[in-house]
């Protein structure tokens, strides 16, 4: 579906960002000639995926915060099909883009960005806002090289000291306490993410990184990382205090600010005290038609896909702490990742079962019972208990959980091995196709710019 060339007093131009539910376009305010960034959200997608509260929370939070190192929101405009969030335009792009071609920053520049990040996060925490998804992709740089925190879609607004329960964020930057399916303090979790970012700025790579998600979680829980040889003792000392797996003994933001390494050339930024009773009339108007449509349409309370950490928080069965405990020989559980749509993933399960001389009995759209193909007595059949469940994390990402509580270990192992091989092969093909697609798009963009 196309977009209008203008909305209100704003003239839209090129796309500068794109996600699952929204596009961000560069625009010009025709009244003063200033550039702005406009996030365009499809109302149908918001309704379909039950994201109304999340979008409204992001807008309200951004309106509440007025700080030199936080992206400002100007206004919200609604039409029948779209929501337009008009924001400050930050021309330097994402910090992650800078890291991709510079690799790592020098100490002076890394410290400056870290100081600005801590100032912004401290300002948020003092107002009861916890970002919960701090990472270089959500940190923008303006034309002067100053850092701006963006994307408050997963933020939480709480009183200081209140525990949060929903685990969310990006795997490599998430604090260990979020993996344990227990209450956690938003401030300590954000501090951990800041520590991961500082390490990455100075090192050029992540402290916790592994292609296997379960191995990654183990490293995070144990705070298992290695400093590069070029790190100074001052850097190591500060980062070690931040990447403390125990949130109770982890260094706090006031303590970070007092650190000698942090204090070097430190120029604290000052945020504006903002009245919490901010004007949300434009937000309410933009969402009015959504409420009408929602009343007419039966919308499921759970989105069609969710991030991995929301998934974990939804069910005790997905308590990650169990993944790091020794399993007994009888009970077995294997978790596999799939970069396929849910229906394609189920087809792979059926193919893997066939390879292992097993048959699949679908219980519902995502759960399956798996039985040996050969004829069995009623008694012996009941002694074989193998099941699989596919959990949709994103349109082309699923988690497959295979459980065995009874039966032959050989059949279980053979099935898991076959399925893992099939999903890995498909993942590699999918990656190659995506790389080819991106190469074609880049080529088109290059030729387009030459015209």
The C-alpha angle with vertex 120 and arms to 119 and 126, in degrees rounded to 5, equals 90
Give the pairing type, strands 82-88 and 156-157: unpaired
Cβ contacts of 165 within 8 Å, gap of 6 or more: 183, 184, 313
Q: How far apart are CA 451 and CA 8, in angstroms?
A: 30
Cβ burial, residue 309 (10 Å; 0-12/13-18/19+): buried
Active site residue 133: yes
- Candidates 42, 119, 122, 133; catalytic one: 133
CB atoms within 10 A of CB 97: 14
Q: How far apart are CA 385 and CA 102, in angstroms?
A: 53
Q: How far apart are CA 127 and CA 202, in angstroms?
A: 30
Q: How far apart are CA 190 and CA 428, in angstroms?
A: 34
Which helix (H) or strand (E) segment is 126 a member of?
helix 107-126
Q: What share of the chain is helix, strand, coil (3-state, %, to 5)?
A: 45, 20, 35
Residues in the chain: 451
Which helix (H) or strand (E) segment is 297 a member of?
none
Which helix (H) or strand (E) segment is 20 a member of?
none
Which positions are catalytic? 133
């Amino acid at each position: 579906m196309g977009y209008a060339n203008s909305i209100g007093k704003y003239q839209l131009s090129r796309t500068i960002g794109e996600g699952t539910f929204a596009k961000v376009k560069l625009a010009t305010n025709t009244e003063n000639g200033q550039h702005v960034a406009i996030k365009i959200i499809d109302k149908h997608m918001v309704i379909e995926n039950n994201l109304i509260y999340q979008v409204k929370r992001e807008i309200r939070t951004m309106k509440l915060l007025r700080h030199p190192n936080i992206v400002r929101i100007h206004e919200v405009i609604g039409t029948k099909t779209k929501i337009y969030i008009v924001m400050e335009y930050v021309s330097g792009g994402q910090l992650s883009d800078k890291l991709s071609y510079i690799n790592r920053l020098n100490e002076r520049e890394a410290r400056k960005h870290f100081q600005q990040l801590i100032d912004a996060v401290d300002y948020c925490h003092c107002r009861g806002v916890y970002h919960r998804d701090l990472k270089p992709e959500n940190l923008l740089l303006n034309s002067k090289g100053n850092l701006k925190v963006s994307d408050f879609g997963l933020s939480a607004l709480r009183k200081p000291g209140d525990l949060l329960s929903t685990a969310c964020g990006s795997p490599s930057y998430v604090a260990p306490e979020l993996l344990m399916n227990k209450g956690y303090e938003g401030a300590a979790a954000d501090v951990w993410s800041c520590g991961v970012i500082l390490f990455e700025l100075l090192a050029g790579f992540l402290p916790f990184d592994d292609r296997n998600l379960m191995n990654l979680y183990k490293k995070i829980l144990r705070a298992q990382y290695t400093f590069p040889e070029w790190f100074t003792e001052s850097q190591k000392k500060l980062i070690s205090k931040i990447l403390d797996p125990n949130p109770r003994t982890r260094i706090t933001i006031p303590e970070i600010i007092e650190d000698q390494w942090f204090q070097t050339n430190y120029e604290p930024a000052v945020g504006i005290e903002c009245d919490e009773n901010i004007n949300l009339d434009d937000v309410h108007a933009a969402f009015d038609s959504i409420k009408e449509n929602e009343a007419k349409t039966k919308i499921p309370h759970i989105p069609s896909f969710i991030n991995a950490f929301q998934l974990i928080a939804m069910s005790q069965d997905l308590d990650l702490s169990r993944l790091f405990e020794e399993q007994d020989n009888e009970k077995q559980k294997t978790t596999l990742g799939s970069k396929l749509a849910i229906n394609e993933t189920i087809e792979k399960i059926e193919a893997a079962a066939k390879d292992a001389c097993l048959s699949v009995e679908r219980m519902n759209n995502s759960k399956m019972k798996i039985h040996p193909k050969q004829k069995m007595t009623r008694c012996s059949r009941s002694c074989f208990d193998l099941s699989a469940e596919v959990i949709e994390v994103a349109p082309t990402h699923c988690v497959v959980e295979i459980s065995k509580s009874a039966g032959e270990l050989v059949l279980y192992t053979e099935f898991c091995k076959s399925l893992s091989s099939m999903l890995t092969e498909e993942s590699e093909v999918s990656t190659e196709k995506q790389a080819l697609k991106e190469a074609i798009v880049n080529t088109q963009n290059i030729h387009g710019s030459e015209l």
